[in-house]
């Protein structure tokens, strides 16, 4: 049986959709058991519901950017109750630390829209454009205590083209993300089950 996944996201959920598509296409042996968001109206929840996947909202106690400890503990408990083995951050915009990280050590992945260690943090594609970089890219990595610092699983570059806007560059990176994330999950799960 494939890996049981839990997905955390704050936005549109196109990466969660790509994971689902890979599962449905038979290229990724896994199952998404639970999708959680810190934003009650995030489209990722809608997408998950359409596929009959259990969803939930993470109560961040009114904090705009912080992921408070109580909320992390609740999230860890919900993921565990759902039988989740591997947690995938997919456009989740809060920093995961203790206690959630302690419950899933080496078992939380993140997708980040840059060639890490370049441009950690938010809107990395804009950071790359503003810095005049010649290429951008995307990275799937294990989450550790730092911000976008954990061991890299897969990484690939895309060119920055003349005339690129933040939107066109992000769209090019997202095409890459949708291929890379399922591949990285598959790689990690093969390593565990081997
Ligand atoms: C993705 O581009 C992802 O790399 C980025 O948010 C987007 C979410 O899109 N994540 C970060 O910037 C994390 N720092 P999605 O909701 O359509 O998957």
> Nearest Cα to 153, choosing from 186, 120, 121, 127?
186
Ligand 1 center to 130 CA (angstroms): 19
pLDDT exceeds 70 at position 194: no
pLDDT, tens only, 87-119: 999 999 999 999 999 999 999 999 999 999 999
In sequence order, the β-bridge partners of residue 157 are 137
Whether 112 is catalytic: yes
pLDDT, tens only, 14-71: 999 999 999 999 999 999 999 999 999 999 999 999 999 999 999 999 999 999 999 9
3-class secondary structure, 159: strand
Query: Quick one: pLDDT at residue 193?
Result: 52
pLDDT, tens only, 113-159: 999 999 999 999 999 999 999 999 999 999 999 999 999 999 999 99
Q: Which domains does the chain have, with CATH numbers?
A: 3-193 (3.40.50.170)
Query: Quick one: pLDDT at residue 191?
Result: 85
- pLDDT band at 192; cut points 50, 70, 90: confident
Residue 51: half-sphere exposure toward Cβ, Cα within 13 Å = 21
Pocket test for ligand 1, best of 113, 155, 170, 172 (most atoms within 8 A of CB): 113
> Nearest Cα to 94, choosing from 61, 118, 127, 125?
61
Atom of ligand 1 nearest to the CA of 124: 12
Q: Whose CA is nearest to atom 9 of ligand 1?
A: 91
Ligand 1 center to 173 CA (angstroms): 10
Ligand 1 contacts (CB < 6 A) are: 9, 11-15, 44, 90-91, 111-113, 122, 174, 177
Ligand 1 center to 113 CA (angstroms): 7
């Amino acid at each position: 049986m494939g890996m049981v996944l839990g997905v955390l996201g704050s936005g549109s959920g196109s990466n969660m959709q790509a994971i689902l598509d890979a599962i449905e296409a038979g290229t990724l042996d896994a199952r998404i058991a639970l999708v959680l968001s810190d934003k009650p109206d995030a489209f990722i929840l809608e997408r998950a519901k359409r596929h009959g996947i259990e969803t939930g909202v993470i109560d961040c106690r009114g904090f705009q950017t912080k992921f408070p400890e109580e909320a992390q503990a609740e999230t860890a408990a919900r993921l565990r109750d759902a039988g989740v083995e591997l947690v995938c951050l997919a456009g989740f915009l809060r920093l995961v630390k203790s206690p959630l990280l302690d419950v899933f050590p080496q078992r939380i992945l993140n997708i980040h829209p840059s060639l890490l260690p370049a441009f950690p943090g938010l809107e990395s594609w804009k950071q790359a454009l503003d810095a005049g970089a010649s290429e951008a890219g995307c990275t799937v990595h294990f989450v550790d205590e730092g911000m976008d610092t954990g061991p890299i699983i897969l990484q690939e570059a895309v060119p920055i083209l003349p005339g690129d806007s933040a939107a066109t560059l992000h769209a090019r990176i997202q095409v890459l993300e949708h291929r890379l994330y399922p591949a990285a999950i598959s790689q990690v799960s093969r390593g565990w089950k081997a």
